[in-house]
Structures are given as structure tokens and as C-alpha cells.
């Protein structure tokens, strides 16, 4: 980590992003107490021209604690509103009373977001003065503006409920904003204050429908105590009040109010009739169907339209004949709506009408007509639907596809398969939203007649997407006639698949295995067992899932062999953890005891590290890497294994695994010890208890498992384990605490004891303690770490320098520079990296001297470190490295100089 000096220098960098990163790093927890930090941030707020940098300063100041309060108060006057808002937010989080008066003053800010954040901050302070100021502010703004303050109102409600309720009641009647009125209605309904009932009833006469609906919902939420006022409203002169009161009463269980609502269907004003129909539709009471049918003859077209839409929503067959009759004489806009509604019913007369509508010029009308044809028995329906598959509008094509599936005529198979091939070949067909899902659903409805033609398509096609979707569809059809064809795909000859790339061949074998599992016919078992020996992991895992569908003893041996061949890491990181989950569940149902050993070994996968550069980088960053975190589908699979083992053994997973760990002669003892940490918190409490076991191996295993769980509840037990008498337990507890820190778990409680372990007699424990301290950098570890630089063991010294690099404290510079002469190359290289990252000018000279070192790795490391420091003196040194005898050193020096560019003047 860079030192404070390097970060202060970076605050002058010309790049805005570099300054922002420097501000964030300066506020890291182990640098907050340095007085230079506050001074530098103060100057940055005054001088930096970039508002984004000032925003980060304001946001980061809160990390410094209450010493930043005066500076944050000053920041409330920044020119940028976002910076002012951030300052107000930080003052609220710090909770210092010195901020009350400045925040109250900020309530007069010109910018609404700043005022909002100031109010929020004052509420966080919980001061009488602050709360009084907020109430006064809301009385001035909440009742007169259209600004929404719902979050603040809810917070204030918890602190001072009475004045807030009064404020909300006033807002219901006086605020000009519809949104504010709705907000007040919702909150009052949640509070359950009876004083809100009459103002809410008054809102029934509001001009906006959404306000009427919100008031109705609020009254329903208030419950029975609202009924008397609503019943009184039924006698009101205002028809709007009667309309919404009757609607609300029905929702409250007062069914006699339905008659009042139905009477409004005869009101003289068409708008009342229209909204009465709309509210009857929402209630969904079948007693309203006949009265709404009568409204089809209303004198106003909007009432007729509302009635048509209502009958479509209610879907009552009594509406069919009246709608058909109205369709014969209605004008075009109403006719379109009727056609749309009729298409939702299943009736021969509707289908007959739709035969005449299919040629309509509008695609939406054609699609309605096509959907309705499925109910007809006319010989014309099938040809019309088939022809509609070629309609220029994709909505019509989708409707025709659905209609053919619903019609169930086998004559639709071939045109639908042709459509299936077209869509599969082009993906999303012709740049529309049309996908194969609709066609697949239609073919599935047609069932068995689809199988033979689809097999013919599979045999004839060389297109990989067509083949893949045909294979899956055959699986979904679940017809045993497809088994021989699919089984042959598991072992194709080179001639049969020469047109497919290798990846496509693998994918096709895997898909065929999945399809055979879907079919579930026992004749597929032997081909699947043979395919379990496939050389490709993807195929084998799909075969495993397929075989898991057959809960028969014949599949057990093959499933166990798959478990033994492909360890848990493959199941997890193949993207197919569901395969092992399926295997586990099948073995549990069959109940074969042979599954116990391989299942436990699969659980232990998490301790196996795959090779690769990424893993090496992670190990370098964290002081040795850490076990993989078990989450999501992988955790679900591991817990399925745990459930299977419980079912097979009759023991909880913790009792089973701990029993094996406690048995010194058990062949799975080591494996069970690792598996303890792979099933989430299922074993947490028993494992914590196992830290007190008499057997040191059990205690070490428990410490390891707790680290692998990455649960913060393990920190204190592991900290206690650091004071163990047995070295192996202490060593594992140190490593587990490091793992927890790597995954952002808070382990600072362990820092004092880890510092003590730096003087332990066992060098491995000293090194592990230093690595653990590297992931929890804290000032109190500085002196113990510096003292340990004289450790007799090189691994310990290297680990200590590594920890000091993460600590980033400039006071460690001189001791680390001394390690540049260490007898061990690894220590020297780590010291170079440390000096580069801390990045102070005092390191330039000793690093420059290393440019003549006989070791190429040393010279290369020195070039990288000088680049990180990036000062003018470092640039001069890098110029000399261009003449180095080693090309890698020359190339790195050239790159470093280009990267530094004009930044040398920052020295």
C-alpha cells in the first residue's frame, strides 16, 4: 500500500481519477490518525477545480471521525451542490452536535437535494433542536411544494409521531401536488389514524383518477372503522363520492353497497357510468355481468367501449352473444375492441366471424382473428392458420403458431416443423422478437405425430442450431421412438459429424444425453452408461444428470465412477453443479451405501487449487491464496450431498464428518476434515465446539473448517485458538483468520495475539502470523513487524516485509531498505516491491543502486519500483536502465518512462 507521502504527492497529479484514488486511499483506517491527512484534504477541498474530486473528499472525510467535523461544516458552502450534499450526509453519520446549527442553516440551500440531505442528517442527530427545525422546515415546504419527502416523513414519524400526523392530515387537503396527497394517504393508512378517514373520503371528488384510487386503497387499509363515513357518503350529492364510497365498501365486505354502484350505471353523466363500469370490473363480482352487458347499448361510445373491455376482463360466456350482435353494427374503433375481446372466448360462432376478419389490413386485428379460429370446426380454419404462418407481421405468425397448436390437427405438423427450422436457423427470426419457444410449445401440444417428422429433420439437417433444438424437442416429447436415434448421437462416427466443429460435436453429445434423460425410457440406460466414459467433461456431466433420472440400482455403479473421476472442483466450475446435486439425490433415493465415500470426497473439493496465472496472482496478493468460497448453486449442491449422506447414514452431516475426524483409524479422516467446511453453516456450531476437543487433529480440522466457511462468527473462536498449546492448531487458526480477512471479514480482534505470535518458537507460525497481519493492516502491528525483520528464518522475514508492504507506513522504510542486502533473494525482491508500493523519495537512491546488481530479477524489480515511485530522480535512474544487458529490463524501463510521461515535475 502506498505511503502517506506518496498519496499526498498524488493529490497534485494532473489526472482527476488519480487524485480521486489518492483521496480514497488517504482515508484508509490505518492512516486516519496522521494529521497530514486532514490538512491535505482541507487544502484539496479549497483548491481542487474538479467537483468529482471534491465529492470524494467530502464522502471520505467521514472516515476520519469527528476530527473532520469542522472541515465538513465548511464544505456545506462548497460551490457544487453534490459536494454540499455529501458533506451534510457525512455530518449526519458522524452524529456530532456541532453540526446542528450549520445543518439548520443549510435547510435554506438553493438546491433541493442538499436540503433533503440536510433534513436527513438532522434526523440522524436525534436532537430536540434538530427535530424542531425539521418539523418547521416540512411545514413550510411539504404543504406547499410538489417535492416528495416520504423517506424523511417516515423517519420523523418514529421520532415525533403527533406533529407528523397533523402535517400529513393537512397535506391531504391543502397540498397542490397529487403525488404528495397520495404519499400522505398511504402513510396515514399505515399509521391507522382515524382522523384520516374524512379527508380521504373528500379525495373521492378529486379530479384525478389515481388520487381517487389511492384514497380508496387507504380506506380499505384502515378497515372497518372507515365504514360509517363511507356509508354516509352514499347519500352525498356528489356522484363521484357515491361512486368511490360504494366501491370501497364492497372491498370492505359490505356487499349491499354493490347495488348503489350498479345504480350508477344509469346516471345521467356518461363519465360516472364509465367509471362505475371500471370499478365493477376491478371488483370482479359476477352479479355485475348482466348490468354491464346492458351498457353495450349506452348512448355514449366511451361507456360502450368501457363495457366491452370490462366483459373481456370478466370473461363470462353470457357476454358472447351480445358482443357478437354489437359487432355487426358498431363503428370501427369499437369494433376493433370487440374483436379483441371476442378472441379470448372459445365459441364456434366467434370462429365463424373471425373467418371473415382474417384478411383485415391491420395486423393486430388479423392476430385476434387467428387466435379465435382455434374454436371453430370449420374446414377453412386449418388452411387459414397455415397460411398465416407466412404473414408479414410476426405477431400474426406467433398467433397462427399458437392457434395450430391449440387446434391439435396433425396436418399442422409439417408446416410447424418448417417454421421451427426457419426460426432455429436464423435465431431471432428476421430481426423480430419471434423465437422458437412458441413453435416448440405448439409442436409439444401436437404430441406423437411430431416425432417421426422431427427425427427425419434431425437425420437430414447439418445445421447445428436446428439439430440442437430438434434433439431437445425430441426429449421434451418423451417418445421412446427417439431413443435409438439419440443414443446413436452419443457415439457418432467421424463421417456422420464431419460438418460440425469439435465444440459443436461435444455440445451435441451433451444435448443428446440430456434429451435421453428427459425421455426416461430404460432402453436409454445402456447407451448412457457407455457414454459415461466419454473423454469430454461436459458430456459426462450431462450423462450423469440423465442417469440420475433413473432411480434404479443399475445406474449406481456408473454414478459412483463419475463421482470418483470428476472431483468436486470440476462439478463446481464446469458451470454444472446441478449434476452432482442430481447424482446425490438419486443415490439417496436408491440408498446404496457405496455412495458414502465418493460423496464425501466430492465435498472435499474446495481445498484443491487449480493451477494457472490467476491463482498465482491471487496467492501473491493474499499471502498464499485461500480456499474457494462456497455460494449459490455450488453451496446448494454441497448441501444436497450433505442431505444424501444424512439419509444414507442416519446421522447429521456434522456428526458423520466429526465422527470420522475423531476416528484415528478411519481411511477418510483427512477428507472428512476438509469436507467439514464445505456445507455452509450446517456444521458451524458443532465445529466451533470441536475446537475444545482433546485431540489436536480434531481441533486443527475444526480451525480449518471455520476458515473455509467465511463466517464472521468464527473470528472469536479462532482468535482464542491462537493461544493453543499445539503448534498445528495455532498454525491453522492463523491461516483461517487470514482467509477470513481476505474475504473482507473483520478480524481486528486477533491482531494483538498475532503480533505476539511473531516471536513464537515455530518459524512456520511466525510466518503465518505475519501473512495474517498483512490482510488486516493496523498501526499496532508496525513495531512487532519491524522487530521481526531480524528473524533468523528467511521465510519469516519475507512474510514480514510482505505485511509491511500492505501496512504502507513510512516509518518502516529504513528497516525495509536494510533488507535490500538480505542474504535471501526472496527477501530482497519482496523488499523492493515494498519500497515501490510505499513510494517515498528516500527509496529512490537505494533502488537506483540495485540497477547494477548482478541478479536480473533484482534489476527488473528495481525498475518496476522506481516506476511506482514516479519522481524526477526515479526518471533519471530509469534512463540508465535502458542500457541494461537484459532485454526484459530494457523493455520494462522503456515502458515505465513512457507511462511516467510528464509527471516527473511532481517531485
CA separation, residue 222 to residues 200, 284, 696 (Å): 11, 22, 63
**In 3D, which of 882, 875, 821, 878 has the Cα closest to residue 853?**
821
Angle between helices 502-519 and 483-490 in degrees, nearest 10? 140
Radius of gyration of the chain, Cα coordinates, nearest whole angstrom: 38
464 and 502 Cβ atoms separated by less than 8 Å: no
Residue 856: C-alpha distances to residues 221, 798, 864, 878 (Å): 78, 19, 12, 15
Query: Distance of alpha carbon 277 from its chain centroid, rounded?
Result: 42
Residues 639, 642: Cα–Cα separation, whole Å: 5
> What is the Cα–Cα distance from 852 to 848, expressed in whole angstroms?
8
Rounded-to-5 percentages of helix, strand, coil across the chain: 75, 0, 25
Reported as half-sphere exposure (CB side, CA atoms, 13 A), residue 359 has a value of: 1
Q: Which residue has the cell 458443532?
A: 686
C-alpha distance from residue 732 to each of 142, 368, 621 (Å) = 60, 70, 19
CA atoms within 13 A on the CB side of 322: 19
Query: Among all chains, which residue has been given the C-alpha cell 460435436?
Result: 505
Q: Do 540 and 562 meet the contact criterion of CB atoms below 8 Å apart?
A: yes
Give dist(CA 778, CA 619) in Å, integer.
Answer: 21
Widest distance between CA atoms in the chain: 103
d(CA 445, CA 247): 42
10 Å CB burial of residue 685 (0-12, 13-18, 19+) is exposed
Instruction: Please state, in angstroms and rounded to a whole number, the distance separating the CA atoms of residues 619 and 610.
Output: 12
Question: In this structure, what are the phi and psi dihedrals at residue 815, rounded to the nearest 5 degrees?
Answer: -60, -35
**Which residue in the block uniquely carries the three cell numbers 407466412?**
390
Is residue 200 a contact partner of residue 220, using CB atoms and an 8 Å limit?
no
C-alpha closest to that of 121 among 83, 153, 141, 91: 91
Separation of alpha carbons 553 and 555, rounded Å: 5
User: How confident is the model over 799-816, as pLDDT tens digits?
Assistant: 999 999 988 888 899 999
Count of residues making up the chain: 907
* Residue 859: CB atoms within 10 Å: 22
With a cut of 50, list the residues of the chain below it in pLDDT: 29-30, 429, 606-615, 902-907
Instruction: Identify whether the C-beta of residue 590 lies closer than 8 Å to the C-beta of residue 558.
Output: no
**For position 452, what pLDDT does the model report?**
96
725 in Cβ contact with 750 (< 8 Å): no
- Residue 485 in contact with residue 470, Cβ under 8 Å? no
E strands present in 517-582: none
Per-residue model confidence (pLDDT) at position 522? 95
Cβ count near 282 (within 10 Å) = 14
Tens digit of each residue's pLDDT (9 = 90 or more) over 396-438: 898 899 889 988 889 999 999 999 988 888 765 455 566 778 8
**SS3 of residue 885 by DSSP:** coil
For the record, the C-alpha cell of 465 comes out as: 442450431
Residue 739 and residue 771 in contact, taking contact as beta carbons nearer than 8 Å: no
CA–CA separation, 291 and 287 (whole Å): 8
Residue among 801, 814, 721, 739 at smallest CA distance from 767 = 801
- Residue 217's alpha-carbon distances to 221, 245, 250, 405, 696, in angstroms, are 6, 11, 12, 42, 65
Tell me 197's DSSP state: H
* Residue whose C-alpha cell is 467537483: 51
Mapped to the 3 state alphabet, what secondary structure does 603-644 carry? HHHHHCCCCCHHHHHHHHHHCCCCCCCCCHHHHHHHHHHHHH
Alpha-helical runs (H) found in 683-750: 684-690, 696-709, 715-721, 727-742
Round to whole Å and give the CA distance between 644 and 649: 9
Q: Taken in order 591, 595, 600, 606, is the CA torsion positive or negative? A: negative
CA distance 349 to 219: 44
Is residue 438 a contact partner of residue 398, using CB atoms and an 8 Å limit? Answer: yes
CB atoms within 10 A of CB 761: 7
Q: Which of 694, 595, 580 is nearest to 639 (CA)?
A: 580
User: Residue for cell digits 439419509?
Assistant: 647
The rounded distance, in Å, linking the Cα atoms of 395 and 381 is: 18
Please tell me what DSSP assigns to residue 224. Answer: G
Burial of 874 (0-12, 13-18, 19+ CB in 10 A): buried
Provide CB contacts within 8 A for 207, sequence distance 6+.
none
Measured at the CA of 837, the angle between CA 835 and CA 842, to 5 degrees, comes to 40
CA atoms within 13 A on the CB side of 793: 16
At a CB cut-off of 8 Å and minimum separation 6, what does 835 contact?
813, 816, 817, 820, 843, 846, 847, 865
CA distance 170 to 142: 10
User: Taking the chain, what is the end-to-end CA distance rounded to the nearest angstrom?
Assistant: 19
Output DSSP code: residue 80: S
CA gap 652, 635 in Å, rounded: 17
Give the dihedral sign, CA 96/99/104/108.
negative
Q: Which residue has the cell 372491498?
A: 251
Indicate left, alpha or beta for 356 from its phi (over 0: left) and psi (-120 to 50: alpha): alpha
Amino acid at each position: 500500500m502506498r505511503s502517506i507521502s506518496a498519496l499526498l504527492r498524488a493529490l497534485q497529479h494532473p489526472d482527476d481519477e488519480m487524485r480521486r484514488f489518492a483521496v480514497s486511499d488517504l482515508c484508509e483506517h490505518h492512516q486516519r490518525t496522521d494529521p497530514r491527512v486532514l490538512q491535505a484534504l482541507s487544502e484539496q477541498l479549497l483548491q481542487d477545480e474538479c467537483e468529482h474530486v471534491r465529492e470524494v473528499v467530502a464522502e471520505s472525510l467521514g472516515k476520519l471521525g469527528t476530527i473532520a467535523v469542522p472541515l465538513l461544516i465548511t464544505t456545506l458552502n462548497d460551490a457544487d451542490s453534490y459536494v454540499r450534499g455529501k458533506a451534510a450526509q457525512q455530518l449526519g453519520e458522524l452524529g456530532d452536535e456541532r453540526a446542528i446549527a450549520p445543518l439548520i442553516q443549510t435547510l435554506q440551500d438553493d438546491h433541493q437535494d442538499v436540503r433533503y440531505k440536510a433534513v436527513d442528517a438532522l434526523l440522524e442527530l436525534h436532537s430536540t433542536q434538530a427535530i424542531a427545525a425539521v418539523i418547521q422546515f416540512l411545514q413550510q415546504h411539504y404543504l406547499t411544494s410538489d417535492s416528495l419527502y416520504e423517506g424523511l416523513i417516515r423517519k420523523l414519524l418514529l421520532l415525533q409521531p403527533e406533529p407528523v400526523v397533523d402535517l400529513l392530515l393537512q397535506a391531504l387537503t391543502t397540498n397542490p401536488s397529487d403525488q404528495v396527497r397520495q404519499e400522505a394517504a398511504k402513510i396515514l393508512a399505515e399509521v391507522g389514524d382515524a382522523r384520516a378517514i374524512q379527508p380521504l373520503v373528500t379525495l373521492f371528488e378529486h379530479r384525478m383518477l389515481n388520487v381517487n384510487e389511492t384514497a380508496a386503497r387507504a380506506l380499505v387499509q384502515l378497515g372497518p372503522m372507515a365504514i360509517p363515513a363511507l356509508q354516509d357518503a352514499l347519500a352525498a350529492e356528489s356522484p363521484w363520492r357515491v361512486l368511490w364510497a360504494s366501491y370501497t365498501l364492497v372491498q370492505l365486505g359490505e356487499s349491499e353497497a354493490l347495488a348503489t354502484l350498479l345504480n350508477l350505471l344509469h346516471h345521467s353523466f356518461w363519465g360516472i357510468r364509465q367509471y362505475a363500469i371500471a370499478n365493477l370490473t376491478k371488483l370482479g363480482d359476477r352479479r355485475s355481468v348482466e348490468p354491464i352487458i346492458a351498457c353495450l347499448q349506452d348512448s355514449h361510445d366511451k361507456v360502450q367501449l368501457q363495457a366491452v373491455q370490462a366483459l373481456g376482463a370478466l370473461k363470462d360466456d353470457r357476454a358472447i352473444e351480445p358482443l357478437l350482435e354489437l359487432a355487426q353494427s358498431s363503428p370501427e374503433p369499437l369494433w376493433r375492441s370487440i374483436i379483441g375481446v371476442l378472441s379470448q372466448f372459445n365459441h364456434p360462432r366467434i370462429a365463424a366471424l373471425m373467418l371473415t376478419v382474417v384478411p383485415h389490413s391491420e395486423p393486430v386485428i388479423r392476430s385476434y382473428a387467428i387466435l379465435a379460429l382455434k374454436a371453430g370446426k370449420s374446414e377453412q380454419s386449418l388452411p387459414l392458420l397455415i397460411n398465416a404462418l407466412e404473414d408479414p407481421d410476426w405477431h400474426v405468425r406467433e398467433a397462427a403458431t399458437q392457434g395450430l397448436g391449440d387446434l391439435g390437427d396433425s396436418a399442422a405438423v409439417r408446416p410447424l416443423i418448417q417454421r421451427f427450422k426457419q426460426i432455429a436457423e436464423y435465431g431471432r427470426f428476421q430481426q423480430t422478437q419471434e423465437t422458437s419457444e412458441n413453435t416448440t410449445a405448439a409442436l409439444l401440444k401436437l404430441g406423437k405425430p411430431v416425432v417421426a417428422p422431427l427425427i427425419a429433420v434431425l437425420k437430414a439437417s447439418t445445421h447445428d442450431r436446428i439439430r440442437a433444438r430438434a434433439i431437445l424437442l425430441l426429449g421434451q416429447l418423451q417418445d421412446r421412438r427417439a431413443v435409438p436415434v439419440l443414443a446413436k448421437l452419443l457415439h457418432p462416427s467421424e463421417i456422420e459429424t464431419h460438418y460440425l466443429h469439435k465444440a459443436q460435436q461435444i455440445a451435441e453429445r451433451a444435448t443428446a444425453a440430456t434429451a435421453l434423460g428427459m425421455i426416461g425410457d430404460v432402453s436409454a440406460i445402456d447407451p448412457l452408461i457407455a457414454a459415461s466414459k466419454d473423454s469430454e467433461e461436459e458430456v459426462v456431466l450431462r450423462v450423469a444428470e440423465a442417469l440420475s433420472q433413473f432411480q434404479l440400482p443399475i445406474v449406481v455403479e456408473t454414478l459412483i465412477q463419475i463421482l470418483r473421476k470428476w472431483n468436486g472442483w470440476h462439478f463446481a466450475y464446469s458451470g454444472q453443479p446441478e449434476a452432482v446435486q442430481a447424482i446425490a439425490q438419486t443415490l439417496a433415493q436408491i440408498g446404496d451405501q457405496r455412495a458414502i465415500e465418493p460423496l464425501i470426497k466430492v465435498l472435499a473439493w474446495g481445498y484443491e487449487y487449480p493451477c494457472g496465472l490467476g491463482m498465482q496472482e491471487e496467492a501473491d496478493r493474499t499471502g498464499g491464496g485461500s480456499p474457494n468460497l462456497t455460494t449459490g448453486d455450488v453451496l446448494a449442491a454441497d448441501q444436497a450431498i450433505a442431505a444424501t449422506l444424512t439419509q444414507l447414514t442416519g446421522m447429521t452431516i456434522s456428526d458423520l464428518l466429526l465422527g470420522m475426524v475423531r476416528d484415528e483409524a478411519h481411511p477418510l479422516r483427512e477428507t472428512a476434515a476438509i469436507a467439514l467446511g464445505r456445507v455452509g453453516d450446517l456444521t458451524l456450531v458443532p465445529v466451533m465446539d470441536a475446537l475444545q476437543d482433546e485431540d489436536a487433529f480434531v481441533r486443527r480440522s475444526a480451525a480449518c473448517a471455520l476458515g473455509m466457511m467465511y463466517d464472521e462468527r468464527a473470528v472469536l473462536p479462532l482468535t482464542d485458538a491462537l493461544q493453543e498449546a499445539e503448534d498445528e492448531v495455532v498454525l491453522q487458526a492463523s491461516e483461517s483468520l487470514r482467509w477470513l480477512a481476505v474475504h473482507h471479514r473483520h478480524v481486528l480482534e486477533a491482531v494483538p495475539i498475532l503480533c505476539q505470535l511473531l516471536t513464537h518458537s515455530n518459524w512456520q507460525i511466525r510466518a503465518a502470523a505475519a501473512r495474517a497481519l498483512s490482510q488486516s493492516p493496523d498501526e499496532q502491528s508496525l513495531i512487532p513487524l519491524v522487530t521481526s525483520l531480524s528473524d533468523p528464518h528467511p521465510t519469516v522475514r519475507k512474510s514480514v516485509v510482505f505485511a509491511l508492504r500492505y501496512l504502507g507506513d513510512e516509518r518502516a522504510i529504513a528497516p525495509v531498505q536494510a533488507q535490500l542486502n538480505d542474504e535471501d533473494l526472496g527477501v530482497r525482491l519482496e523488499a523492493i516491491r515494498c519500497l515501490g508500493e510505499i513510494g517515498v523519495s528516500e527509496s529512490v537512491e537505494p533502488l537506483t543502486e540495485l540497477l547494477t546488481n548482478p541478479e536480473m530479477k533484482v534489476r527488473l524489480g528495481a525498475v518496476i519500483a522506481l516506476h511506482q515511485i514516479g519522481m524526477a530522480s526515479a526518471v533519471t535512474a530509469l534512463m540508465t536502465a535502458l542500457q541494461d544487458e537484459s532485454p526484459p529490463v530494457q523493455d520494462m524501463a522503456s515502458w515505465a518512462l513512457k507511462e511516467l510521461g510528464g509527471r516527473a515535475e511532481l517531485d
